[in-house]
Amino acid sequence: MTAVARESVPALLWRLWRDPAAWATTVDVFAILLAVSLPWSTSLVAIFAAALLVSMAPFLDVRALLQSLKRPLCVLPMALFALAVAGMLWSDAPWGARLYAVGPTAKLLMLPVLLYHFERSARGLCVFIAFLASCVLLTAMSWIVAFDPALALKPGAEYGVPVKNYIDQSQEFALCAVVLAYPVITLLREKRVWPVALLLAVSLSFIVNMAFVIVSRTALVTMPVMLAVFALLHLRWRHIVIIGCAAALFGGLAWETSPKLRGTAATFLSDYELYQQHDTPTSIGMRLQFWQKSLRFFTEAPLIGHGTGSTQGLFELAVTGPRNVSASSQVIANPHNQTLNVAVQWGAIGVVLLYAMWLVHLMLFRGEGLAAWIGLMVVTQNIITSLFNSHLSDFNEGWMYVLGVGIAGGMVLGASSRTAVPGAPNSAEP
């Protein structure tokens, strides 16, 4: 019998309990479970995030963590959270609303933790593969629900949306589809045909689902921008023209054969006309009202804003006429624009912190490699979609940002430090 076989279960458990590498592996496992659960559940994300933090505690190198927290990458998201907490002091909202409004910024505190851990871990790519696999499963479930809505995992589900909502689903599918372009091009240059075919099939499965089942208008706007960033960074002009023509051909074919896609695109104009002519509370009309009023709220308190949780109260005071009858009478706690969401509550100080964080995170991913590409696309998508929604504050898209930047950023930092010190060991590897 081997020594491991002769070792008793209590002795084995005690040895693992005292092994830092075992705890590091546990943190990686919880990060993988968090990524897998994100497309499906909100409660599981919170549970696995808490478990991840607990698993880091026994052998946490406090000095190294504190040193890591001094980086602008970590300071800026923590500063946004601190501003949200401080903003409760000058807000006129009820305390329940103030505390509730702090919640969306709390997940930013996970960013420094993930950066610290995955700078040392070798399993960051496993987390992204887990998220991709979960989204592939969600794609299959989306097709099933499109044919039989009774199989949806929530009551009253939208067409082709088994869980959550079509905006969250579209953001996940769009990110996966665009991110896969980098490994496809890399493998194609290495003439590895079968992996290229597999990844192309997976990427196209997301695009076809969005074209023929359901897609958000935000994804329709952001995907071309993300693909343009990829083309400019990684393709030659000749290849850009060829792929552009192929994309135009596919887009034309999808347009002609998909009533859902045409219907979604047509709502841009129809929603705007209904709002302009009849003040109908369409999606576009309400957004225009939210943005106009939010700009006015910002000018009333331009430096530090109206305080945390103040947005809904301000909209209630600005209502004209019977509530919910027209676009101008809508009340909301979220103006559907991340910049305005921050500006109304925390003024110019909050906006400066927000844009500084986005800029610093973009600069982190200016290099080469898959991790840098994933991080770049995560930040780019969040910035663009935050023009139409408060996606850094929203649960699903906010966690996509935290996981993507935290893990990809840690991988980039780890690769950089190992390059700077050749032969340096990976302390988180078992």
Q: For 264-326, give the DSSP string.
A: HHHHHHHHHHHHHHH----HHHHHHHHHHHHHHHHHHSTTT-S-TT-HHHHHHHT--SSTTTS
201 domain-assigned: yes
Enclosing domain of residue 268: 164-278
Task: Answer whether 169's CB lies under 8 Å from 161's CB.
Answer: yes
194 domain-assigned: yes
Vertex 243: Cα angle to 230 and 135 (nearest 5): 60
Amino acid (one-letter) located at 35? A
pLDDT at residue 268 greater than cutoff 80: no
Residue recorded with tokens 């930092």: 413
192 domain-assigned: yes
The Cα-based distances of 347 to 108, 284, 350 in angstroms read 19, 25, 6
Rounded-to-integer distance, Cα 78 and Cα 240, Å:
40
The whole-angstrom distance between residue 140's C-alpha and the CA centroid of its chain comes to 21
Q: Quick one: pLDDT band at residue 270, thresholds 50, 70, 90?
A: low
Stretch among 180-184, 268-272, 294-298 having the lowest mean pLDDT: 268-272
- Specify whether the backbone of 422 is left (phi greater than 0), alpha (psi in -120 to 50) or beta: beta
Rounded-to-integer distance, Cα 203 and Cα 189, Å:
18
Helix (H, G, I), strand (E, B) or coil at 23: helix
Domain count, the chain: 1
pLDDT for the residue 429: 38
101 domain-assigned: no
Rounded-to-integer distance, Cα 272 and Cα 278, Å:
10
Q: What is the mean pLDDT of the chain?
A: 83
pLDDT for the residue 305: 92
- Strand (E) or helix (H) holding 85: helix 72-86
| b/e code 244-275 from CB counts within 10 Å (16+ = b) | eeeeeeeeeebeeebebbeebeeeeeebeebb
48 domain-assigned: no
202 domain-assigned: yes
Nearest to 213 by CA among 145, 154, 133, 265: 145
pLDDT for the residue 141: 92
The predicted-structure confidence for 364-414, as pLDDT tens digits, reads as follows 998 888 999 999 999 999 999 998 888 898 999 999 999 999 999 999 998
Higher local confidence (pLDDT), 379 or 316: 379
Task: Answer whether 92's CB lies under 8 Å from 307's CB.
Answer: yes
69 domain-assigned: no
Mean local confidence (pLDDT), 174-190: 89
